[in-house]
Structure 1
Amino acid sequence: MIATNKLKIFNDPIYGFITIPNSLIYDLIQHPYFQRLRRISQMGLSYLVYPGAHHTRFHHALGCMHIMQKAVQTLRFKGVAISNEEENALYIAILLHDIGHGPFSHAMEHSIVEEVHHEEISLKFMNALNEEFEGKLDLAIQIFKGEYHRKFMLQLISSQLDMDRMDYLKRDSFYSGVAEGNINSDRLIQMMNVQDDVLVIEEKGIFSVEKFLVARRLMYWQAYLHKTSVVAEITLTKILKRAKELTQKGERLDCSKPLSFFLNNKITTDTFNLDELITFSQLDDYDVLGAIKSWQFHADFVLSSLSKMIINRDLLKIIVLDEKVDAELLMQYKNKITSLYSLPDNEANYFVFKGKLKNQAYNKESEPISILKKDGEIENLVDSSDQLQVKALSKSVTKYYICFPKVLLDI
């Protein structure tokens, strides 16, 4: 029998070579549950705006593990005791933190698997893998759930300055070409320390934190909340909702078996068992895109029209406003579309709707980013920074939008 070399390396365009630290990590990466992430886009439909944004959740997960390795190395160098078991648990937890994302990520959560958050599905995957790997993920799951007594370990995985955010900002900036999102993750990690079991940034790294928050704010407005990305994702959500609505009325739609299962069944946290998890693990972007290609020729006007919008990138008009959308204006557009296509009111809602966008780079009410002063005191970033910009970044900015078919502009 030929032995497999499990100490592989990946050549990553962001960090260079990424090493797999041990055979357990290798086996997790090789598992079909994790390999599925190669077929889940990291930025959803943002490639309709930024043609280079075709990277996947697989890229992102490996990047997070890589910078977690750097963080562990830095903290140990500064005298923070991290056992080999804890180290491995951190790598597993960050590697699997996004494993529960469905096709096009958030669009799935608001349409097909509407009552189960991707973090809950990630945990279900981790529990299933833990059983398969005979309890070797116990500590990783404890950390992921926030049940481990060393608080800073959860902060490395999920906080306002975690490995997840550090990688996706740098990676999404690179692939989209939005240079304003680029951050110096190396500098941020070198400035990390642990004080009283809290993850802190040493005072001399405060400017890097400020740059990180500015980059996050700009990436949201320029990429994640770009108006075309927003209307594309909402359109995809509405396609899946319409498909589910038709399916549950007895209509048979051409699609893969896994997608058909979720269209035909209402899934909740309580009913999401191992069988559902296995079916979910077979679902990826290709199922959805393949279905939409077929649905553009369906007899249902709503389903076919919305599907063509995605396939041909001929999307609804979206107007972003500083003030709330006037209800009378919305009704005018609905009346026009109802009259133009002889649609009932409930179907007009698929084409004319409003919503809001929120952007808050730093939430001072949530667990703060802590700054370690030279005298050993710990301060909230907002109190430590002499930049008014950080205080401004703490405020939530809300914008409003209205969407409608472009044909109404000519009426």
Structure 2
Amino acid sequence: MNPRNKLKIINDPVYGFIHIPNAFIFDLIEHPFFQRLWRISQMGLSHLVYPGAKHTRFHHALGCMCLMQKAVQTLRHKRITISAQEEEALYIAILLHDIGHGPFSHAMEHSLVEGISHEEISLAFMQELNRIFPEKLSIAIEIFQKKYPKAFMNQLVSSQLDMDRLDYLKRDSFYTGVGEGNINSERIIAMLTVKDDTLIVEEKGIYSIEEFLVARRLMYWQVYLHKTSIGAEFLLIKVLERVKELYKEGKHLPMTPALEFFVQNHITKELFDSKALQLFAQLDDYDIISGLKQWQYSDDKVLSNLSYRLLNRDLLRVKLYKTPVTEKEVQSLLQKVAKQYDIPLSLAHYFVFTGEISNTAYRKDEQNIFIHTKENQVVDVTIASDQMNLDALATKVTKYYLCSPK
């Protein structure tokens, strides 16, 4: 019997053919932990605004690995030493960097577990895989945790110019049809180099970096923080909040065992043990969708209404403001909703709520993007750029939202 060929080629609509580099990485991709990413939306509920945005974390992870392959090739061509072992570790780290996302990605990050980020859950998955495949992920875990001695490798996986951002901007632009995010990721990678163990960009690549930062800002306001997407995601959070509240009152609702575990139990970082990890590995978008389809017929007016709204895109109205919403306006809407839906005033907050969203395209207080000038100097991109508005992208912009029934 012939052994199975694991050196597969995957046809990606964004980059063309993606080559699986070796048999071990193929085994990681085949593992149920990774296959679960087929069932996790890359962009949460953004498809309710941009119908084409139905791609998954699986697509994104492979795209990131493809860009990492290009980055390794580029840096080696510029005589930057990367061993075969380090190369594989870079591919593993970027491939698994988002494996800890829960249903609908960021939309429910703090609804099922508390005090633990998707990055920390990704680390837990990687550590478990390192046990299953004894010590084969050790270097990748060091890189993922930004603890590997070669700092530029850590930056390739996590920084303000990492392979993650270079893929999701271009990929999300492709699937939403929003052209403003269509960055030239291959051009940016071709301009990368390393100086004093720091990942930097050659000066002739500065315009591509400017385009990247502007695209990031525009994609956040136009896509990721689109008011309808925000409203839908908060509605989903409210659904889980109501489900948990009903469970506390002793009411049992139909749902999958994995989802029930996280609804019944208050899982924090300290309680996220091996059992929790295995059950989290069974959670995906379909657990939530199947729940919504049943909860829309619930006897509870709040849960049935919210579930029906999400399933049928009958979303709340979302208004954005430059200043915080007044308590008087919120209280007035709460009273109207309680009367309209014949529910206690104490439950009206499920339909009327406010908060804030913010966007900073470039953070000077984090891992800066450095430009290597022709004068052999390394300077921050905001200093090297002749674009007057680039420095403004480092300013945090905050908007305030108010959600209520139409």
Per the alignment, in what secondary structure is the counterpart of residue 318 of structure 1? Answer: strand
Per the TM alignment, residue 195 of structure 1 is displaced from its structure 2 partner at its CA by 0.3
Alignment pair present for 1:383 and 2:383: yes
Whole-Å separation in 2 of the counterparts to 1:241 and 1:85: 45
* Cα drift, residue 127 of structure 1: 0.2
CA distance in 2, matches of 1:248, 1:90: 44
CA distance in 2, matches of 1:110, 1:335: 28
Partner of 1:409: none
Deviates more, 1:390-399 or 1:124-133: 390-399
Q: Deviations over 1:147-191 (max 9, x none)?
A: 111111111011111000000000000000001110000100000
What is the TM-score normalised by the length of structure 1?
Answer: 0.97
The answer for the alignment partner of 2:81 in structure 1 is 81
Partner amino acid for 1:213? L
Q: Distance in 1 between matches of 2:149 and 2:71?
A: 19
Aligned twin of 2:111: 111
Q: Distance in 2 between matches of 1:9 and 1:270?
A: 41
Partner of 1:194, secondary structure, is strand
Q: Which amino acid in the other structure matches residue 269 of structure 1? A: K
The equivalent residue for 2:336 is 336
Corresponding position of 1:308: 308
CA distance in 1, matches of 2:110, 2:350: 14
CA distance in 2, matches of 1:29, 1:362: 32
Map residues 224-303 of structure 1 onto 2, 5 A cutoff.
Answer: 224-303=224-303
Give me the CA root mean square deviation: 0.9
After superposition, residues 160-175 of structure 1 pair within 5 angstroms as 160-175=160-175
Is the contact between residue 112 and residue 244 of structure 1 (CA under 8 Å) also seen in structure 2?
no
- Give, in whole Å, the separation in 2 of the partners of 1:347 and 1:19: 53
**Over residues 105-152 of structure 1, what are the superposed CA-to-partner deviations in whole Å (9 max), with x where a residue is unaligned?**
123222121222111100000000000001000000011111111111
Distance 1:100 1:398 in 2: 28
Q: Using the TM superposition, give the Cα deviation of residue 250 of structure 1 relative to its aligned residue in structure 2, in angstroms.
A: 1.5
Q: What's the offset of the Cα at 1:269?
A: 1.3
Question: Is 2:137 the partner of 1:137?
Answer: yes
Measured in 2, the distance between the counterparts of 1:329 and 1:179 equals 37
Pairing of 1:5-404 with structure 2 (within 5 A): 5-404=5-404
The answer on whether the counterparts of 1:55 and 1:175 sit within 8 Å (CA) in structure 2 is: yes
Q: Is the 8 A contact 1:108 1:114 kept in 2?
A: no
TM-score by length of 2: 0.99
Partner SS state of residue 193, structure 1? strand
| Letter in structure 2 aligned against 1:153 | M
Tell me the amino acid that sits aligned with residue 196 of structure 1.
Answer: D
Task: Note the alpha carbon deviations across 1:342-363, whole angstroms, 9 max, x for none.
Answer: 3333311111111111011101
For the 8 Å contact 2:114–2:269, the answer to whether it is kept is no
Query: Which deviates more from structure 2 when the two are superposed, residues 58-67 or residues 115-124?
Result: 115-124
Cα distance in 1 for partners of 2:183, 2:58 equals: 20
Instruction: Identify unmatched segments of 5+ residues in structure 2.
Output: none
**How many angstroms apart in 1 are the aligned matches of 2:88 and 2:292?**
41
Residue 17 of structure 2: SS of its match in structure 1?
Answer: strand
Q: Distance in 1 between matches of 2:121 and 2:225?
A: 25
Q: Is the 8 A contact 1:248 1:263 kept in 2?
A: no
Provide structure 1 residue ranges, at least 5 long, that are not aligned to the other structure.
407-411
Once the two structures are TM-superposed, the CA of residue 70 in structure 1 deviates from its matched residue by 0.2
Q: Name the stretch that deviates more: 79-88 or 107-116.
A: 107-116
Q: Give the distance between the partners of 2:344 and 2:191, measured in 1 at CA.
A: 59
CA distance in 1, matches of 2:262, 2:115: 12
> Residue 94 of structure 1: CA displacement?
0.1
Give the match's secondary structure for 1:17: strand
Partners in 1 of 2:19 and 2:109 — Cα distance? 33
Note the C-alpha offset of 1:337: 1.3
Contact kept, 8 Å, 1:40 with 1:104, in 2: the verdict is yes
